[in-house]
Amino acid sequence: MMLKPTDGQRIVRALEVLDASGRSILEWQAARGRPLIDRASTRFLVIEPDRAELVKRIEARFDRMLEKGAIDEVRQITDLALDPDLPAMKAIGVRELQAAMAGELSFPEAIERAKIATRQYAKRQATWFRHQPGPEWLRLRLGDRAGSTISDTLFSAT
């Protein structure tokens, strides 16, 4: 896979691999050894919480992050004047809280936007999983029997 000149994050990673190993990332990707996992005997489980429950958990998680000092943490990294293209500066919530600190958004609006961005990220993850090839996908809804359902599925004969 060729790297795009505008993809700074992947370019930095490729240079780190080259520096650490003496081999390009393309060489590593082309080197095909024995797979670590026998895909033919692997069961793929995707656990999908109820959408309303997921939204509730996302909001509670972000509220806990705020209670534990997320605003101070964002203020501290902002004071460091780091490159905005660094992965840490792209974390969900950082830009939203920075905008509130700069007076561009109210804090409630920034918090709501960060929660929305988190929900969108969760949706992209679910979409990615739905489009992955595999021998079998078992989609489970979290609930009272989720643990026993997972156990039964993992240890049942295929």
Band of residue 128 on the pLDDT scale cut at 50, 70, 90: confident
Please give the model's pTM, rounded to 2 decimal places.
0.70
CATH 1.10.287.890 domain span(s) along the chain? 43-155
The answer to whether 101 touches 75, Cβ cutoff 8 Å, is yes
Q: What does the radius of gyration of the chain's CA atoms come to, in whole angstroms? A: 21
The residue type at 138: L
Task: State the residue for tokens 């024995």.
Answer: 34
Q: Which residues pair with 44 in a beta bridge?
A: 137
pLDDT greater than 90 at residue 131:
no
Looking at the structure, give the CATH architecture of the domain made up of residues 43-155.
Orthogonal Bundle (1.10)
Mean pLDDT in residue range 149-157: 72
Q: Which uninterrupted H or E stretch holds 16?
A: helix 8-21
Tens digit of each residue's pLDDT (9 = 90 or more) over 54-102: 899 999 999 999 999 999 999 999 999 999 888 899 999 999 999 999 9
